[in-house]
Chains A and B, each alone.
Chain A
Amino acid sequence: MSLSNVLRSPVGKKFVTGITGLGLVIFVLMHMIGNLSMFSGDDAYNEYAHFLASLGPLLYAVEAGLVLFFLFHAITGVRIWIGKRKARPQGYDMYRSAGSPSLQSSSSRSMAITGIILLVFTVFHLISFKFGPGGPGNGDPAYMTVIDGVEMRNLALLVREKFATTWYTLGYTAIMLLLVVHLRHGVWSALQSLGAMRPSITPAVYTIGGLLGLGIGLGFIAMPLALYLGWI
């Protein structure tokens, strides 16, 4: 059986979404922790960003991996969503969940829509920050700074500018809340998709997964909100 056939099978699709999903959870967790360096000051944030940029080929490899993970995760997710529509051409007049042990929720039902919004957000987010002023191919001197004699990008300045506007901060917060909704079902579901679950630990893992998602989302919201409110 060829690899592409395996990956396109009902089980393979779940493996793809599960593995890429877990990889992306690790990524957003690391990203969120990195963002919190802003609480130690603009210099700490800029130095952290500079450290990542200075990794060179290693960073490019990780970025290429992330792009692949995002694409595979999104494409497979959308395929499952399209498949669902084909598998039930006519819906029910009335539909209700039977309740526990079902884990069906607004989160599980909205994975495709929250996922698509998060993907579109990611593209705009990259344009705004990674490829924004001072970024690759956009070496605006106004967004450069010197810390301990090392010239580096003043990403903190850009972050401060963006989150000074109300609509941007509110929009970002709303998207991060969608990430919480996505991860509430996503973390547990990824482990179940990888065949790593057993009934005795499912309730605990589902709860821990939801809390992890909530922690990541709130962590992402903390820095922009603190900037907007002038706390840092």
Chain B
Amino acid sequence: MANSMNITLKVWRQAGPKAKGGFETYVVPEANPHMSFLELLDVLNEQLIKEGKEPVEFDHDCREGICGSCGVVIDGQAHGPQQRTACCQLHMRHYKDGDSIVIEPWRAEGFPIIKDLVVDRTSFDRIIAAGGYISANTGAAQDANSLPIAKADADLAMDFAACIGCGACVAACPNASASLFTAAKIAQLSLLPQGDPERKSRAIAMVDQMEQEGFGDCSNHTECEAVCPKGISVSAITKMRREYMKAVIG
């Protein structure tokens, strides 16, 4: 594996929410196979700063794949070519010397661009605020088995709780639907007794908020599951639909 890679980046640049954006092409001659994708962007930014140019804005925080802050579309795929991986955990060893990579922000009406690759994902916060909470006072940590929850339910709820809210599901969906994100929370809380008091109102309010935020409708392409860094199954969406219909019927 070569220690130095010459990588060409075609990056979406947009000065602000209302500004007209466009692609700029940059060459990073000293990329390294051990770098993460975000480190590649760091190196690019150092280059740009040295040249007196504006660095590329991108979101990031933990850089260990658990916070959900990062996320860009890399060569047409949300978070890049490696499944179940946030782009901070995508490493340059998956690329070859001389490769050219296209980087775009999440594109959705519900995720307006703030600058360059940074989008406003507060729509997700509003969907959660609409019903993704419990009102039951669960107090301090209890004895492990004081709340009897079937192992299968607990495991499934945990799978759905793994959502880090990165927005890749929306970015990759041909319809820009936020169904997987919304459904993961509805499905998780529907499986646990703590979620019972708001079970019906939650399903209705979160689905309603999802629509108000301007996300599209689901067409069951299931692309969301394929790009989810946590591999959340579209069975969450199936569950959301059942929860919603049960809530509106009775």
A interface residues (Cβ-Cβ under 8 A, vs B): 1, 6, 9-11, 13-15, 79-80, 83-84, 86-104, 108-109, 111, 185, 188-189, 192-199
| Contact A91-B217, Cβ < 8 Å, known A84-B174, A96-B76 | no
User: Which single member of B107, B226, B235 contacts A90 (CB below 8 Å)?
Assistant: B107
The answer to whether B75 has its CB under 8 Å from any CB of chain A is: yes
Question: Residues of B contacting A104 with CB < 8 Å?
Answer: 174, 221-223, 226
10 sample A-B contacts, Cβ–Cβ < 8 Å, listed by A number: A1-B204, A80-B217, A94-B104, A97-B223, A98-B78, A98-B83, A102-B221, A104-B223, A192-B220, A195-B238
Q: Within the complex, what minimum Cβ distance (angstroms) separates A113 from chain B?
A: 13
| Contact A111-B77, Cβ < 8 Å, known A11-B245, A15-B245, A194-B241 | no
User: Which single member of B208, B217, B223, B248 contacts A83 (CB below 8 Å)?
Assistant: B217
Question: Residues of A contacting B208 with CB < 8 Å?
Answer: 9
Among B1-9, B43-51, B88-96, B175-183, the stretch that binds chain A is B175-183
Question: Residues of B contacting A94 with CB < 8 Å?
Answer: 73, 75-76, 102, 104
Question: Residues of B contacting A193 with CB < 8 Å?
Answer: 220, 241
User: Which single member of A91, A99, A196 contacts B226 (CB below 8 Å)?
Assistant: A99
Closest 7 CB pairs of A and B: A87-B216, A102-B226, A96-B76, A87-B176, A98-B226, A94-B76, A195-B241
What mask results when residues 198 to 223 of chain B are scored 1 for a CB within 8 Å of chain A, else 0? Answer: 00000010011011001111111111
Question: Residues of A contacting B221 with CB < 8 Å?
Answer: 102-104, 108-109
Report the number of A-B residue pairs with Cβ-Cβ less than 8 Å.
Answer: 142
The answer to whether B63 has its CB under 8 Å from any CB of chain A is: no
The answer to whether B110 has its CB under 8 Å from any CB of chain A is: yes
| Contact A100-B107, Cβ < 8 Å, known A80-B219, A185-B220, A193-B220 | no
Query: Which of A10, A83, A97 has the most B CB atoms < 10 Å from its CB?
Result: A10
User: Which single member of B73, B179, B214, B225 contacts A86 (CB below 8 Å)?
Assistant: B214
Question: Does more than half of chain B's interface fall in helix, strand or loop, or is it mixed?
Answer: mixed
Q: Within the complex, what minimum Cβ distance (angstroms) separates A119 from chain B?
A: 17
Q: Within the complex, what minimum Cβ distance (angstroms) separates A195 from chain B?
A: 4
B interface residues (Cβ-Cβ under 8 A, vs A): 10, 12, 23, 73, 75-78, 81, 83, 102, 104, 107-110, 172, 174-177, 179, 204, 207-208, 210-211, 214-223, 225-227, 233-235, 237-242, 244-245, 248
Contact indicator B23/A93 (Cβ below 8 Å): yes
